[in-house]
């Protein structure tokens, strides 16, 4: 019995110690900024990225997750690290290894930290306001000078903004919210600060509309579609960005007759998977308001047969609550359509029906 009592007392003491520890001892990873071995810290939401000093000028990059109270080391990123910067959207952060002037900048996505990209940079490395680009200095091997350039995050492509001659260097200074880019021009040890307004391309303007999630700009987005360079879109935003754009489009409520007419005009521009996603946008628009769709189509009468085949490709009348007979009756008896528009609607139904014969 005495042994049992001693055992219970011992267990009780252990439990008490654990409780006191949990109540009064702070977790290991709180107040990272106060740790003596931390050289630099940058916070974003639940994440803290920091450089831990390993001595002799060597630092390692670590990421602390406040939700799990765990930290991990970024594999392979070690050395004279500095310049941690988060993208404005919080999806990426960068850090540079090297001197203050020349180094290798690592771009790390928060959600997939093994998918690390890197680029040799000179001078300051600066995020664009839309988080899709970096403003950097890069070596011009031909002239042995420094170009001002843009690095596209998604495609990992570098594009010169200002190309240097052999007597001049250009270094990044800032990229502000109004899209003004500042840079330093260096010529024979003479430094001059300059700036200019970076004009968004049609592709960037469209993606900014998509990322903003503001429905009031859908008409503007559709108006940009005919002017897009889809190769450039993928260069800026990465492989698959055209598919992402079309999927976004298929989710929008497109109810302006002019916008619908633009979609009809663009039907020939896509093939394969892109075609079927695009036609889904057309089908959704048709289902939402057939009267407006027919009015738009009446402005593009040469497209009637093509539209009918497209709607048949996605089996629009095999869907629930869709009746070709009821729609034909609706068109014939509509008070919103004139005789010419009714003829367009009837032809559309007839062409669709003929697809199945």
Domain boundaries of the chain, sorted by first residue: 26-197, 202-355
pLDDT of res. 16: 56
pLDDT of res. 357: 56
Q: Where are the beta strands (DSSP E) in 190-322?
A: 190-197
Does domain 26-197 match CATH 2.130.10.120?
Answer: yes
- CA dihedral angle for residue 113, residue 110, residue 102, residue 199, rounded to 10 degrees: 130
Lowest-confidence region among 24-28, 156-160, 163-167, 346-350: 24-28
pLDDT band at 17 (very low <50, low <70, confident <90, very high): low
pLDDT of res. 29: 47
pLDDT of res. 121: 97
Instruction: Return the higher-pLDDT residue of 25 and 226.
Output: 226
Q: Is 77 left (phi over 0), alpha (psi -120 to 50) or beta?
A: beta
Cα–Cα distance measured from residue 115 to residue 293, given in angstroms and rounded to the nearest whole number:
44
pLDDT of res. 217: 86
Residues counted in the chain = 357
pLDDT of res. 238: 84
User: Is residue 47 a contact partner of residue 113, using CB atoms and an 8 Å limit?
Assistant: no
pLDDT band at 90 (very low <50, low <70, confident <90, very high): very high
Cα–Cα distance measured from residue 21 to residue 302, given in angstroms and rounded to the nearest whole number:
79
How does the average pLDDT of the chain come out, rounded?
89
pLDDT of res. 224: 96
pLDDT band at 21 (very low <50, low <70, confident <90, very high): very low
Cα–Cα distance measured from residue 89 to residue 44, given in angstroms and rounded to the nearest whole number:
10
pLDDT at residue 346 above 90? yes
Cα–Cα distance measured from residue 286 to residue 319, given in angstroms and rounded to the nearest whole number:
13
pLDDT of res. 7: 54
pLDDT band at 24 (very low <50, low <70, confident <90, very high): very low
pLDDT at residue 3 above 70? no
pLDDT at residue 222 above 50? yes
- For the chain, the 3-state helix, strand and coil shares in percent, each to the nearest 5, are 40, 30, 25
Element (H, E) at 134: strand 133-140
> For 108-113, what is the mean pLDDT?
90
Cα–Cα distance measured from residue 211 to residue 130, given in angstroms and rounded to the nearest whole number:
9
Scanning the structure block, which residue is given the tokens 């039907």? 267
pLDDT of res. 26: 42
pLDDT at residue 19 above 70? no
User: Is residue 336 a contact partner of residue 257, using CB atoms and an 8 Å limit?
Assistant: no
**335 secondary structure, DSSP code:** S
> For 274-296, what is the mean pLDDT?
95
User: Is residue 195 a contact partner of residue 181, using CB atoms and an 8 Å limit?
Assistant: yes
pLDDT tens for each residue of 174-221:
999 999 999 999 998 899 999 999 999 999 999 888 877 766 789 999
pLDDT of res. 86: 97
User: Is residue 44 a contact partner of residue 93, using CB atoms and an 8 Å limit?
Assistant: yes
pLDDT at residue 244 above 60? yes
Cα–Cα distance measured from residue 227 to residue 196, given in angstroms and rounded to the nearest whole number:
24
């Amino acid at each position: 019995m005495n042994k049992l009592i001693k055992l219970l007392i011992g267990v009780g003491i252990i439990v008490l110690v654990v409780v006191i520890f949990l109540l009064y001892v702070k977790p290991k990873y709180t107040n990272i900024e106060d740790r003596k071995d931390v050289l630099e810290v940058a916070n974003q939401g639940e994440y803290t990225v920091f450089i831990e000093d390993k001595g002799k000028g060597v630092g390692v990059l670590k990421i602390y997750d406040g939700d799990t109270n765990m930290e991990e080391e970024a594999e392979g990123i070690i050395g004279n690290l500095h310049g941690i910067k988060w993208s404005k959207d919080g999806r990426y952060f960068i850090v540079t290894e090297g001197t203050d002037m020349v180094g290798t900048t690592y771009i790390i996505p928060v959600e997939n930290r093994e998918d690390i990209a890197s680029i040799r940079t000179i001078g300051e490395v600066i995020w664009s306001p839309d988080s899709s680009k970096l403003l950097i200095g890069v070596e011009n091997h031909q002239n042995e000078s420094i170009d001002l350039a843009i690095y596209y995050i998604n495609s990992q492509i570098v594009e010169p903004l200002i190309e240097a001659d052999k007597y001049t260097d250009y270094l990044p200074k800032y990229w502000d919210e109004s899209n003004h880019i500042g840079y330093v021009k260096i010529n024979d040890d003479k430094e001059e600060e300059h700036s200019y307004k970076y004009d968004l391309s049609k592709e960037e303007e469209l993606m900014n509309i998509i990322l903003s999630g503001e429905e009031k700009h859908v008409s503007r987005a559709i108006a940009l579609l005919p002017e897009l360079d889809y190769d450039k879109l993928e260069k800026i935003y990465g492989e698959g960005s055209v598919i992402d754009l079309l999927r976004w489009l298929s989710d929008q409520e497109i109810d302006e007759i002019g916008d619908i007419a633009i979609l009809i005009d663009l039907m020939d521009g896509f093939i394969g998977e892109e075609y079927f996603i695009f036609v889904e946008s057309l089908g959704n628009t048709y289902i939402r308001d057939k009267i407006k769709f027919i009015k738009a189509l009446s402005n593009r009468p040469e497209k009637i047969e093509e539209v009918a085949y497209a709607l048949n490709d996605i089996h629009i009348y095999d869907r629930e609550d869709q009746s070709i007979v009821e729609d034909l009756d609706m068109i014939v008896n509509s008070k919103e359509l004139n005789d010419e528009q009714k003829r367009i609607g009837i032809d559309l139904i007839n062409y669709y029906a003929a697809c199945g014969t």
